[in-house]
Amino acid sequence: MTRSITVLGAGVLGLWQALTLARAGHRVRLLECSVEPFAAAASLYGGVMLAPEREAETAPAMLRELGLEGVALWRALYPQLHCNGSLVVASPRDQGELERFAHRTQGHGLLRADELAEREPDLAGRFNGALFFADEAHMSAPDALQFLLDEARRAGAEIVFGVGAGADTNGDNAADVVIDCRGMAARDHLPDLRGVRGERVLIRSTDITLSRPVQFLHPRIPLYVVPWGAGLYMIGATVIESEEPGAMSVRSALELLGGAYAVHPAFAEAEILAFGAGVRPAFPDNVPRAIVRDGGRRIFVNGAYRHGFLLGPVLARTVADYLADGRTGALLRV
Ligand SMILES: Cc1cc2nc3c(=O)[nH]c(=O)nc-3n(C[C@H](O)[C@H](O)[C@H](O)COP(=O)(O)OP(=O)(O)OC[C@H]3O[C@@H](n4cnc5c(N)ncnc54)[C@H](O)[C@@H]3O)c2cc1C
């Protein structure tokens, strides 16, 4: 049955919903309160890594399977997705950490130093070896969000910026179903939603070339360098129980930049382009979900925590299935 659907919020969750539901034949209108696309979205700060295997080190087990499905859905959609895997390294004195990480995860192979150098020539001589997660992928957040926006429009979704929930009587009030993807703003209806601050640095280096994400095992933060192409690198990311969206602290800047330097000292010559912090919406168990309310007239899709890009397509498929025939899945609560 074709429905009239309003999606609220053009972060990665709302964009995936709009695209998937428009492709399923629904009449979709996506309302975003910020005038400039992505300006108020946590999604803009994403790495972005699709890392279901590495995330499984700390995430609930069910998210690994769903994450693998998320990677497959991105692969089918996005030609610019880099599907050349990811690496985990540790300094020689922390080899025990690498072994522990290997025991707690699947889907990896152990590379010797020469095999690592074959894959990433600029890391030759830097590490004793690495874990290689061949099936993981990565992308640049701004490019991926713009692609989703264009694809949703191409699929027939109407996308309106500068219009918030409730401000538009032809929007959420008139729709058969409202899909609420307002991120942290949805706490007015989801009181157990909390914010987890994530800081990142964007740098540009012409002295070093990496072609896939490199995670550097660090005692406090999941520290990684993600190549965005053209010499751009995203260095992330802190995980701080705070909803403060403000500027990055000196401590975080030191840790992130120090981590990049530990991956390769050539990063010391890189140009710093931006410091930034986004607040990840999360439920107490850090599992994202779609929550059906008002007899199916309103569905909240939220709590993506560190997995909004990874699980955005899975949450969209889950909602589309529910609207098609009432099917529920692991991430849907009625
Ligand atoms: C530093 C960092 C690194 C990350 N790295 C990764 C990664 O590598 N892989 C991964 O999968 N995830 C990653 N994440 C997590 C991911 O970015 C989040 O899970 C995701 O951004 C959450 O998306 P969202 O659409 O729920 O929220 P948001 O992106 O915040 O979008 C919500 C949107 O709703 C809009 N809105 C608010 N109120 C209204 C209203 N009244 N009406 C209309 N619109 C409204 C907002 O303006 C905003 O645009 C990272 C996050 C951070 C901070």
The model's confidence at residue 169, banded by pLDDT at 50, 70 and 90, is: very low
Q: Best substitution site from 17, 48, 291 to test ligand 1's pocket, by max atoms within 8 Å of Cβ? A: 48
User: What pLDDT score was predicted for residue 245?
Assistant: 86
**Which of 147, 131, 122, 60 is closest to 90 using CA atoms?**
131
DSSP at 33: S
CA 81/CA 266 separation, integer angstroms: 26
Distance of alpha carbon 268 from the chain centroid: 27
Render pLDDT for 259-318 as a digit per residue (tens, 0 to 9).
999 999 999 999 999 999 999 999 999 999 999 999 999 999 999 999 999 999 999 999
CA 214/CA 228 separation, integer angstroms: 12
Evaluate whether 4-46+140-191+284-333 and 86-134+194-281 have a shared fold.
Answer: no
The model's confidence at residue 168, banded by pLDDT at 50, 70 and 90, is: very low
CA 74/CA 328 separation, integer angstroms: 22
Contact 316, 308 (CB under 8 A): no
Atom of ligand 1 nearest to the CA of 48: 8
| DSSP codes joined into one string, 153-196 | HHTT-EEEES--TTS-TTTTTT-SEEEE--GGGGGGT-TT-EEE
User: What pLDDT score was predicted for residue 255?
Assistant: 94
Atom of ligand 1 nearest to the CA of 306: 15
Residue 67 falls in which region: left (phi positive, over 0), alpha (psi -120 to 50) or beta: alpha
| ω into 279 cis (within 30 of 0) | no
Atom of ligand 1 nearest to the CA of 311: 11
Residues with CB under 6 A from ligand 1: 8-14, 31-34, 40-43, 45-49, 164-165, 181-183, 185, 198, 200, 236-237, 278, 280-281, 302, 304-310
Q: Which tokens in the block code for residue 303?
A: 């709590």
Q: Which tokens in the block code for residue 159?
A: 């996308």
Atom of ligand 1 nearest to the CA of 309: 11
Question: 42 — phi, psi (to 5°)?
Answer: -60, -30
Helix axes 141-154, 12-23, angle to 10 degrees: 30
| Closest residue by CA, ligand 1 atom 2 | 46
Task: Report the separation in Å between the CA atom of 37 and the middle of ligand 1, taken as the mean of its atom positions.
Answer: 12
For domain 86-134+194-281, the CATH architecture is 2-Layer Sandwich (3.30)
CATH T-level assignment (fold) for domain 4-46+140-191+284-333: FAD/NAD(P)-binding domain (3.50.50)
Q: Which residues contact 72 (CB under 8 A, 6 or more apart)?
A: none
DSSP at 37: T
| ω into 237 cis (within 30 of 0) | yes
The model's confidence at residue 174, banded by pLDDT at 50, 70 and 90, is: confident
Tell me the mean pLDDT in the region 255-260: 95
Residue spans per domain, the chain: 4-46+140-191+284-333, 86-134+194-281
Atom of ligand 1 nearest to the CA of 304: 19
Q: Best substitution site from 29, 31, 43 to test ligand 1's pocket, by max atoms within 8 Å of Cβ? A: 43
Render pLDDT for 224-247 as a digit per residue (tens, 0 to 9).
999 999 999 999 999 999 999 889
| DSSP codes joined into one string, 84-100 | S-EEEE--GGGHHHHHH
CA 136/CA 50 separation, integer angstroms: 6
Render pLDDT for 83-107 as a digit per residue (tens, 0 to 9).
999 999 999 888 999 999 999 999 9
Task: Report the separation in Å between the CA atom of 110 and the middle of ligand 1, taken as the mean of its atom positions.
Answer: 33
Helix (H) or strand (E) holding 281: strand 271-282
How many CB atoms are located within 10 Å of the residue 275 CB? 17
Q: Best substitution site from 33, 69, 315 to test ligand 1's pocket, by max atoms within 8 Å of Cβ? A: 33
CA 186/CA 26 separation, integer angstroms: 24
User: What pLDDT score was predicted for residue 177?
Assistant: 97
Task: Report the separation in Å between the CA atom of 103 and the middle of ligand 1, taken as the mean of its atom positions.
Answer: 31
How many CB atoms are located within 10 Å of the residue 100 CB? 14
CA 102/CA 98 separation, integer angstroms: 6
Distance of alpha carbon 277 from the chain centroid: 14
Supply the mean pLDDT for the chain: 95
The model's confidence at residue 206, banded by pLDDT at 50, 70 and 90, is: very high
Atom of ligand 1 nearest to the CA of 279: 53
User: What pLDDT score was predicted for residue 259?
Assistant: 94
Tell me the CA distances in angstroms from 275 to 27, 173, 249, 317, one per residue in order.
39, 39, 10, 34
Task: Report the separation in Å between the CA atom of 43 and the middle of ligand 1, taken as the mean of its atom positions.
Answer: 4
